[in-house]
Amino acid sequence: MPVIPHHVAIVMDGNGRWATKRFLPRVAGHKKGVDALRACVRHCGERGVKVLTVFAFSSENWNRPAEEVSGLMELLALALAREVPALHGEGVRIQFVGNRSALAPKVRAGLAQAEAATAANVRLQLNICFNYGGRWDIAQAAAQLAASGTPITEQSLHGAMAMAHVPDPDLVIRTGGEQRISNFLLWQVAYSELYFSDKLWPDFDAAALDAAIADYASRERRFGKVSGQVAPSPAKKVA
């Protein structure tokens, strides 16, 4: 039986390039990317993944063309209306992670409504990082602790992070052929296994997910130790 990561995080890269290759506007690629995310949530649930975290909109994405940013915001509103009821029916709990202060009041209200509607679900935790950056997360955590007079330690900083409600990712997947973190979960990926796929996000299907999980299962996770110090790795199948 394959070893399944408890928490999978994904940088969903390649939507724009997928559209450009087909002579379509970039927003069309983002729409196709929503379809791919819907399928990925289902595939993760079927395979026993308990936490899925996806990078939907980074704090740097505001620098993209205004038309694309506007299209992404409209797509978010449409996706909330269309996808949340279905995800709720599948037992998925949705939480949005990121800086909401820059978002329009209507968008903030939509995020809060989606979270409230799915709060009791336990089959799969879906974290959608929207207007998120790893450096922002570390800075806001430090600011919280400083404001409250709490000493800043690794433990207290970890507890103040926007992702403190879930364990750190076991497996981080990036699609689209690029091999970098791009300011995603900088604190949390300290010991995550990294997997890079050449597939553009709209083409990342069940077989691609299975390939990533199989690669993860073949690795030995030592967390700074040597092989002789660790029990048979939870990320490696033993005959």
Residue 168 annotated in active site: no
Tokens of 147: 């404001």
Catalytic residue, chosen from 13, 137, 168, 170, is 13
| Whole-angstrom distance, CA of residue 124 vs CA of residue 111 | 18
Catalytic residue among 15, 61, 131, 168: 61
One-letter amino acid of 82: R
CA gyration radius for the chain?
18
The per-residue DSSP string of 200-232 comes to -GGG--HHHHHHHHHHHHBS---TTS-GGGSPS
Residue 121 · residue 132 · CB < 8 Å: no
Q: Verify whether residue 13 is a known catalytic residue.
A: yes
**Would you call 166 helix, strand, or coil by DSSP?**
coil
Beta bridge partners of 126: 52, 94
Catalytic residues: 13, 61
